[in-house]
Structure 1
């Protein structure tokens, strides 16, 4: 027999100006009623924090509706079923969902997907290397940027959850050279020593255009952009004729309160026949089966490695999010409950 319960949830109460602060959020206790037919109650184990969440905090046109004030923050999470009133779901099942920043979830079963527990792989991997994060890298590189064997690839934000995957997939698919940028000497070392990048640089050490030119003396063919701004301008300078960019994020500008200055070399798009394509992974979910098959095999064979940065406790979710926005993570940032 199911019972009422309390769920602790984090809600957005004001739209941030610049960097989000604690005053933009509140933590509430919500009493959950008895399960209705077709519902599940799930104890969350890990929450995802992701850069796109900052954009949804603004009341502005985007590819997805903004968060509503006074409502609980949504986003990727994985948990275990503790009570079920739905066919096909049993107590103990591990489920993936998008109900986000709360410890206990009660919703219609249609919002959950059962996933297997894989030996030696943490459940949090379903929020990163086995989930939408790595799918973003996969489709951005292969479908959006039209990667071809022998390409030279440049990745900005290369030590993040998406960037670490892009570099490894490019290498496995036969890139001639893979170059990454990151924000510390430690991350630069990880890129070349762990993630298979041929060259990497710290963008804080000098102009990105100059550092990229030194790392890619023969130019680049593909750019995977997680950052925008100076990195995008540098890539447009470094492109060979026919270069292709997958524009995934603009984390360098996402908290700006004034309109950022754009790249000053856009004429190269014309003269070099470049293609710059923005994308969001939600438009490419039809590629998930192909991605899942390849990534699963790569993980099993040890061809792909991954890191996680883990914050513990629901009360540290905002801390994790802000640390992510400042680039303090290596690999996927998750919150463990």
Structure 2
């Protein structure tokens, strides 16, 4: 084993959206596991937009610690056990990504058992989408479903899940014509609405002439405003992300205001609920079992943009924030 390994650290708190200059790829001694820890050689890790909030320093109500200059970034990772109390050579899922070697506590790791045919699929952000679409915004046979931020890590999974749960029509919003084409050709979206060139409500009304029954919102802002305008009586809206705030250069990533027509919410009996995974501890196992079955049957895909090599990792977060990825962003070591 090499005496050193590479890690990505925050060098300064960004002025606005983070850039590659705010991060540094540095060498550090390979850590030695302490009592109860294991040494893991990471093979893949996920780049998630929530890092924008953690880097911004405003983390009230967020169940993850803030990142300060000098800290190593972190996030979901898959790696191989090198040393410690867990079996050597086994693959584990843990939260110490953004480094080549990690020393998570064995109790905080999950041994991968083949539930999913591809270990990298454990980095898919499908659990939140599945939980939202089966709990607060339960999809019913024949529903029309809108997914905002459809080309993101959650959105690319959500449209497929909605279809498998019985949705008759699935509509997505995105900011790129190329991504819109991919959503329709590769992920079975029936229609897409482009944001950024005109108010969203007009194109959304054209894409959903009979209204919307279920909304899975990963964005907030004007897209959530438009979703409420298009919602049918009894529609269910689940909030699973706040990208409008996290990707704004004028915010810290910890707020995402939106204008909602409360008169319409009231008169149409529309429900709006935030989905939080820890509030639904039964979802994860249920999701993985169904995800594994769907993957093996070829009924679902895990779309992600690979970032090859640790040397390109500092560019991965800015690339995600500026919309250069489709699906999840996964660094491959």
Matched, 1:191 2:183: yes
92-101 or 272-281: bigger deviation: 272-281
CA distance in 2, matches of 1:4, 1:194: 42
Please name the residue that 2:24 is paired with. Answer: 26
1:326 to 322, 325, 331: 322
Matched, 1:48 2:19: no
CA distance in 2, matches of 1:155, 1:45: 31
Please name the residue that 2:81 is paired with. Answer: 81
Matched, 1:57 2:50: no
Please name the residue that 2:201 is paired with. Answer: 209
Q: Residues 188-214 of structure 1: CA distance to partner in whole angstroms, max 9, x if unpaired?
A: 122222212222232245321001100
Judging changes above 3 Å, is the alpha-carbon distance between structure 1 residues 68 and 193 closer, same or farther for their aligned structure 2 residues? closer
Please name the residue that 2:142 is paired with. Answer: 150
Matched, 1:72 2:72: yes
Q: Is the 8 A contact 2:147 2:215 kept in 1?
A: yes
Matched, 1:274 2:270: yes
Higher relative contact order (CA 8 A, sep 6+): 2
1:228-239 aligned within 5 A:
228-239=220-231
1:1-337 aligned within 5 A:
5-32=3-30, 34-60=32-58, 61-69=60-68, 70-82=70-82, 84-86=83-85, 89-116=86-113, 121-128=117-124, 133-254=125-246, 255-257=248-250, 262-263=258-259, 265-337=261-333
For residue 163 of structure 1, report the CA deviation from its aligned partner: 0.9
Judging changes above 3 Å, is the alpha-carbon distance between structure 1 residues 266 and 322 closer, same or farther for their aligned structure 2 residues? farther
262-271 or 287-296: bigger deviation: 262-271
Judging changes above 3 Å, is the alpha-carbon distance between structure 1 residues 293 and 33 closer, same or farther for their aligned structure 2 residues? closer
Judging changes above 3 Å, is the alpha-carbon distance between structure 1 residues 73 and 166 closer, same or farther for their aligned structure 2 residues? same
Q: Is the 8 A contact 1:251 1:325 kept in 2?
A: no
Q: Per the alignment, in what secondary structure is the counterpart of residue 317 of structure 2?
A: helix
108-117 or 225-234: bigger deviation: 108-117
Q: Per the alignment, in what secondary structure is the counterpart of residue 29 of structure 2?
A: strand
Unmatched segments (≥5 aa) in structure 2: none
Q: Is the 8 A contact 1:43 1:79 kept in 2?
A: yes
Unmatched segments (≥5 aa) in structure 1: none
Q: Normalising to structure 2: TM-score of the pair?
A: 0.90
For residue 118 of structure 1, report the CA deviation from its aligned partner: 7.6
201-210 or 297-306: bigger deviation: 201-210
Q: Per the alignment, in what secondary structure is the counterpart of residue 227 of structure 2?
A: helix
Judging changes above 3 Å, is the alpha-carbon distance between structure 1 residues 168 and 68 closer, same or farther for their aligned structure 2 residues? closer
Judging changes above 3 Å, is the alpha-carbon distance between structure 1 residues 39 and 260 closer, same or farther for their aligned structure 2 residues? closer
Structure 1 runs (4+) deviating above 6 angstroms are none
Q: Is the 8 A contact 2:76 2:123 kept in 1?
A: yes
Judging changes above 3 Å, is the alpha-carbon distance between structure 1 residues 6 and 187 closer, same or farther for their aligned structure 2 residues? same
CA distance in 2, matches of 1:38, 1:270: 53
CA distance in 2, matches of 1:260, 1:171: 28
Q: Residues 154-177 of structure 1: CA distance to partner in whole angstroms, max 9, x if unpaired?
A: 011112221121111111111121
Q: Per the alignment, in what secondary structure is the counterpart of residue 243 of structure 2?
A: coil
Q: Residues 236-286 of structure 1: CA distance to partner in whole angstroms, max 9, x if unpaired?
A: 100111211111112123234257663253332222221111223333342
